[in-house]
A and B are shown apart, each in its own frame.
Chain A
């Protein structure tokens, strides 16, 4: 159990700055996911917390105690890597027991600790096998077991499901979350997979180019992205982005005659800035109709992706292609005429220069 704090953390690798003034507080018992592309700084941040990487400046506090000068072993934090990094010549039992060697513990207590963690992770039946005899999922369970057996203050995980296949990844996701709830330990998890982040996290921390972009609950990050990077990184298919002109209460897409009507209150926040803006709208907020409807503009379908549970339909509107999420079979073919509208409540406007979400600022 631990609260982790990063204050003004900077990290340079030679001339490259990989963490730029990072400030973050992770509460006791929280599950935080650091999300970003490779090179974004998320793994460096995680390794800095663990003590596997020094920081160039700034402070790292665990339960209000500065630890940036301490060795990894003295921080009481466990780390799980993407590569399972088990000892191949040892049995599962010996692998899990390994971290207990350093602490004085009698044999009975040690056995009890191993048994408890093995039962939680459902690997008790494998205790006497070698890692090479296990499936990928079981190997990662053993790696997590080895991390948890000491009851560390915090559990740090760096893309732990990255090498597993899709179905196993989905199953392990739920297991890791249940484990977190059962143990109540502070967990920090690094991934580049936005679905993993959305489904695991209490809060998501998005890093890009070493700069913290946004910290928030999954809903917040999805519905109120602070900037264009976050908007495009979270959600699949990606949010539609189109440069638009705002005339009065009309939002005009390039190459169209009419605009979409937005309420005065929705546009008020940004008009006075006078900035050139882009509209951002998720596929589920692009509404389609077969018949001419008030507030809808004519468009032509250009592509349909039937996914069984729903379809993704691309429509051309002037110079813009918008992706819309519809019921299965709503549109039957390409080249069809449809009517399109946008849900103003779920639209975003981004400043083309700063890429900031103007509605977030209003």
Chain B
């Protein structure tokens, strides 16, 4: 159980600045996901929390105590990595016992046996306990890695892309298991990923990182429906949110590409102001008499639905439609949008103009 605070953390690696003034509060017992592309600073943030990196400026506060100078062992955190890093010569049991047998711990043999069997049950690896690690599948190995982290009952779990090396079906299964584990343990989880599906489906809160800066922190729903800027808007959802440049005229959005006029619920920006309109693919509506016209550039059949890429005078607009829709490449097509779902961004700064009004 622990609350983690980062205050104005800056971390440099030689000439490169990996983190730029990151301020962040992770509540006790929260499942917090750090989402970002390679190089955004998410792993560095995790390592700063773990005590594996010393920040150049700023403070790490754990449960109200300044932990900036503490080493990793003093922080009582457990780290799970993408690579399993298990001891191949040991059995599963041997790997799970290992953290409890360290000289700094004083566990009796009975206590160790009890903890190992409890963890094995939680992760459903009891039948594997006496197997050598090298004979396990990828998913089983990752479960053992997680088991080795939880057996110590640390205050905080830090996970760095633990599911990335697994195949898709196994990832689906372990996502659910990790959430359940979090629920059962009640511990603070910090989970790093570049995969927006993992972030949306697992996090109580998501922190979106871009180039060393924390752009937005919010619940999955807030991040999805009320993104602070175009970067956050496009970092969740597949396909990403459409961004279409245009201007506001009366209660309409007039799009630069093709000059089509689409309805707006209430105009957020001033008359005549250039705006970057944001609309998610599931909120684009295909209708015979819809105001915007284009040509089908691509159709992706995903079985449960189809994703259309519509070429509107050189700009591509993505739309999610029913799998039953009969549509072919190069077909002419008319489309509109759900006016209540349209977001307006500043074309220069990318800022969400709708958030300024309450």
Interface string of A170-182 (1 = CB under 8 A from B): 1001100110010
Name the contact of A174 in the complex, choosing from B201, B297, B301, B303 (C-beta under 8 A). Answer: B297
A198 CB contact (under 8 Å) in B169, B200, B302:
B302
| Complex interface bits, B137-176 against A, C-beta within 8 A gives 1, otherwise 0 | 0000000000000000000000000000001110010011
The total number of A-B Cβ pairs within 8 Å is 83
- Kindly identify, within residues 282 to 315 of chain B, every residue whose CB is under 8 Å from any CB belonging to chain A: 282, 297-298, 300-304, 307, 309
Q: Is the CB of A198 within 8 A of B168?
A: no
> B302 touching A199 by the CB < 8 A rule?
yes
Cβ of B338 < 8 Å from any Cβ of A? no
> What 1/0 mask marks residues of chain A from 304 to 319 whose CB sits below 8 Å from any chain B CB?
0111111010100000
Q: In chain A, what residue has the closest Cβ to B38?
A: A165
B220 CB to nearest chain A CB (Å): 5
| Residue B237 is within 8 A (CB to CB) of chain A in the complex | yes
Using CB atoms, name the residue of chain A closest to B304: A284
Given the interface pairs A174-B309, A236-B168, the reply to whether A308 lies near B301 with Cβ below 8 Å is no
Which residues from A are CB-within-8-Å of B197?
307
| CB of A350, distance to nearest CB on chain B (Å) | 17
B180 sits at the interface (CB 8 A)? yes
Q: Is A59 an interface residue (CB 8 A)?
A: no
The total of chain B residues at the interface (CB under 8 A) is 38
In the bound complex, do residue B224 and residue A178 qualify as a contact, i.e. CB atoms below 8 Å apart? no
Do the beta carbons of B302 and A195 come within 8 Å of each other? yes
Q: Name the residue in A223, A232, A305, A334 with the highest tally of chain B Cβ atoms < 10 Å from its Cβ.
A: A305
Name the CB-closest residue of A to B239: A170
B42 at the interface (CB under 8 A from A): no
Is B280 an interface residue, CB under 8 A from the partner?
Answer: yes
A308 x B220 contact (CB < 8 A): yes
A234 at the interface (CB under 8 A from B): yes
Q: CB distance B237 to A198 under 8 Å?
A: no
Q: Does the CB pair A309–B320 fall under 8 Å?
A: yes
Q: Does B329 have its Cβ within 8 Å of any Cβ on chain A?
A: yes
Q: Which chain A positions have C-beta within 8 A of B169?
A: 232, 238
Q: Which residues of A contact B172 (CB under 8 A)?
A: 236-238
Report chain A residues within 8 Å CB of B240.
167
Query: For the complex, is B265 an interface residue (Cβ under 8 Å from A)?
Result: no
Contact B304 A282 (CB under 8 A): yes
For the complex formed, measure the closest distance between the CB of B131 and the CB atoms of chain A, giving whole angstroms. 22
**B200–A308 touching, CB < 8 Å:** yes
| Cross-chain pairs A/B with CB under 8 angstroms, 21 sampled | A37-B167, A173-B298, A173-B300, A177-B329, A178-B297, A181-B329, A198-B302, A198-B303, A219-B301, A219-B303, A236-B168, A282-B303, A305-B200, A305-B201, A305-B202, A306-B224, A308-B220, A309-B280, A309-B282, A310-B282, A314-B176
| Besides A165-B37, A167-B240, A310-B282, 18 other A-B contacts (C-beta < 8 A) | A174-B297, A177-B298, A178-B297, A181-B329, A198-B300, A218-B303, A219-B301, A235-B304, A237-B172, A283-B304, A303-B176, A305-B176, A305-B201, A308-B200, A308-B220, A309-B237, A314-B176, A325-B304
